[in-house]
Amino acid sequence: MEINSRLIRKIKFIYGDEEYMKDINFSNIIERSIKIRENYHKLENQYHGKEWTVEEDALAFLTDAGLVGRLTMAQQNRWPQGGDTVDDLEHKLSECIWWLIVLADRMDIDISTSLDDFLSKLQN
C-alpha cells in the first residue's frame, strides 16, 4: 500500500486535485500538458538540480515511442507480454501525444496550427 500512496501523492503533485471533464478540446489538452511538464521540471530541479533539456525531452519521447512499437507487437500477439497490454498501450500512446505537445511548446511551435495545417494538406 505504501507504493500506491506514494504514487497517488506524485499524481496529485503533477496533475493537481482538479477533476477534469472527459469531453475536452485540444486547447485544454495543450494547456494541461504544459502545466504538467512544468511540475515535472520542479521534480527535475529537486532531484537533479536542473530541468531536462529539449534534447532530453525528445529522447524521452523516442523511448516511449519505441515502447508503443513493442506494445503494439504484444497487442497483435507478435511479442510475449505479461499484464494488461491494452492499458499499457493506451497509456504510452497518450504519453507520446503529451510529449509531442511538450516538445512543440518548448520549440515555439504552435501545435494546434501545425496539426490543422497538416490535416488540411492530407485532406486535399
pLDDT-based confidence at residue 84 (cuts at 50, 70, 90):
confident
- Quick check: 104 and 111 in contact, CB under 8 A? yes
CA distance 85 to 113: 33
Percentage of residues in the chain with pLDDT exceeding 90? Answer: 75
Q: What is the 3-state secondary structure (H, E, C) of the chain?
A: CHHHHHHHHHHHHHHCCCCCCCCCCHHHHHHHHHHHHHHHHHHHHHHHCCCCCHHHHHHHHHHHHHHHHHHHHHHCCCCCCCCCHHHHHHHHHHHHHHHHHHHHHHCCCCHHHHHHHHHHHHHC
Report the half-sphere exposure of 85 (CA within 13 A, side-chain side). Answer: 16
> Could you read off the pLDDT of 14-45 as tens digits, one per residue?
555 555 445 579 999 999 999 999 999 999 99
